Structure 1
Amino acid sequence: MTHKLDAPWMHRADIAALNAALGAGNARFVGGAVRDTLLGQPVKDIDMATLLRPEEVIERLNAAGIRNVPTGIEHGTVTAVLPGGPVEITTLRHDVSTDGRRATVAFASDWREDAARRDFTINALYADPATGEIFDYFDGLADLEKRHVRFIGDARQRIREDHLRILRYFRFQARFGTQPADEEAESACAELAATLKGLSRERVGMETMNLLGLPDPAPTVQRMAELGVLAVILPEADPQALAALVANEKAQAAAPDALRRLAALLPAQVPLAEQVASRFRLSAAQKKRLATAAAREAQPGDARALAYRFGTDSALDRLLLAGADTAPLAGWDIPVFPLKGGQIVARGVGAGPEVARLLHRVEDRWIAEGFPDEGRVEALLDAELEDRTA
């Protein structure tokens, strides 16, 4: 693995302008952008650490005409709004105090001290924006090469500083790690699992959904269950059901979907699904979809009928959870029912509940026949009207 960082994103004109504004030697790329570049993976977010105080960062960016927002000024973070995407610039820090949920920090001037407060060795890699030189204070390069996810320093201390690091550990293990996993990390996560109860449900839900959205979180979720971590955040979960779903998704080339994976972990009980959605602070649309998945039956029925009644996403959920074929939905657009109430009234039916009843009966027959054309719908209406007068 190279010890120099070089990637197209580093040579963007807006990044060059940002580096010039901050000044040589004052800032370094850090964290995910460095890690993912070394792994040959796409870089989504760019973060920088700097020796400069936040007020000086703002002053320099303003002088260079670079728009900026003090997104986390109390923690030393200023976001440079660049044409190619935002870059978060954070002054070097060290922790003054922590309570497992939030930290009080002080600004620092030592790169190693800043690295020491981060979570994992693979996230504490810094790179000089001008030369690409990598600065590695805790053997993160070796861990990255081995795909070994390891806490910096004492794992228990890192977790006591921020309890969410337990879930972050398993997410990073699922994304980057190989077996055998780090024994100290697993032991610390198991020992301190109960501390997750003190975190906001929203933070736990977000981190859990991030884990479930990875290509194959099933082995990691199984390990979380074995270590007693899963029981703290989702005691209703069945890891084996998740593994079966992931296998079905892979077999049918379905994209990973965190909400569908959550549905797999839960028993098929609508009230419970709604309860978990509320616990994880999911959106109303997500809650509805999770409940729809929970209302599934062992045999999902016709794929296109499901999609028409519940939407494509919910249809895919039910099919994949049952191990059924999703091919009928490939490239298929949900049709619009070509019959309106006014057409029934025009046929001599008085406005009111009877119109709605006829609409539903014709629609049910239209769905059962595989969504035939408008001419067939007229024939179906004729048949219903005949039955009505018979």
Structure 2
Amino acid sequence: MPVVNRIADYATDMTKWRQHLHTIPELGLECPKTAAFVAERLREFGVDELHEGIAQTGLVAIINGRGAGETIGLRADMDGLPIPEETGVDYASTHAGKMHACGHDGHTTMLLGAARYLAETRNFSGRVALIFQPAEENGGGADVMVREGIMDRFDISQVYALHNAPGFEAGGFYTTPGALMAAVDTFTVHIQGVGGHGAMPHETRDPVMAACGIAQAIQTIVSRNHRALDDLVVSVTQIHTGTVDNVIPDTAYLNGTIRTFDPAVQKMVMERMAQIVAGQAASYGVEATLDYEVGYPATINDADKAAFAVGVASEVAGDAKVQGDSGREMGAEDFSYMLQERPGAYLFLGQGDSAGLHHPKYNFNDEIAPVGASFFARIVETAQPVE
């Protein structure tokens, strides 16, 4: 079946919701305006339970179906990014320096659309738990919600989520069984040297040269310390040091990201990076401290649930617009914490041609909102039909 007709009727309302949310982007766990708007809509829809204040501003709404059954979790993230908006739309961000540059306003809207339909029709057995999560971009809101016990508290048996995908056919879906997105770690190196006059480098212990040496040596982890067929990214993304052209500074700072799928590869990177930083510091006569922060784990779809979700997506969008084995990619997503606790699947929904994610000109495509809402609704109705 295509987009659910009743959800298609909500399209105008969904656009209004989404564009309002776009004006009030919030960061991290602090999403009070967004949460208040979501809670107001959910009360209007007549959900059976509304639990607020989870992970500070997260919400879980429960809708009971007709008869006994399990509880399916559907998740949407709510937070924005610290990016000044450049879209020029008349509903642009009213919060300076913040914008919905990743489409979480659209994700929240799609789950609200599904909530309205499911509360109205209740054409399913068991229950659905609608999870509105803060802090996907930074702060691991999914991890916080899991640690606060939502899976056990609401007896969630399986869980699903969507993310929009710029550059992929609007209204199409793709995912893959097993590992879909990488684990993400962050490293920072603080270098303490001895500064001095740029004309007298022999009197210094130069942190600039040490920073360059460490940055270059770190790249050998990928090229020389791991099996070429194992996916691995190590990227130095920041080097900060110095003030003027004729002064060698005292300190330097490096920062970057690491993406892995295999915990053994992750462990190897951690060990080699520590060795490289210590060795390079000694060779340049400086002191260097490595801070290695383990971040979101890999996003791993349950193979059976992914296949089920692909079947539902095909009903909504048509077989030709769904890729069920698209391969994995090096982005990261904190929905991984929920998938560690319960079987489920994460899918991408095509946004069509647009600016990329995290770009100041990005804007969610409102035309795909009924497609995503239909997918969420049909997941519930298909998994738990009324008997």
TM-score (normalised: structure 1): 0.23
Larger radius of gyration: 1
The structure in which a higher percent of residues are helix is 1
Q: Which has the higher contact order (CA 8 A, sep 6+)?
A: 2
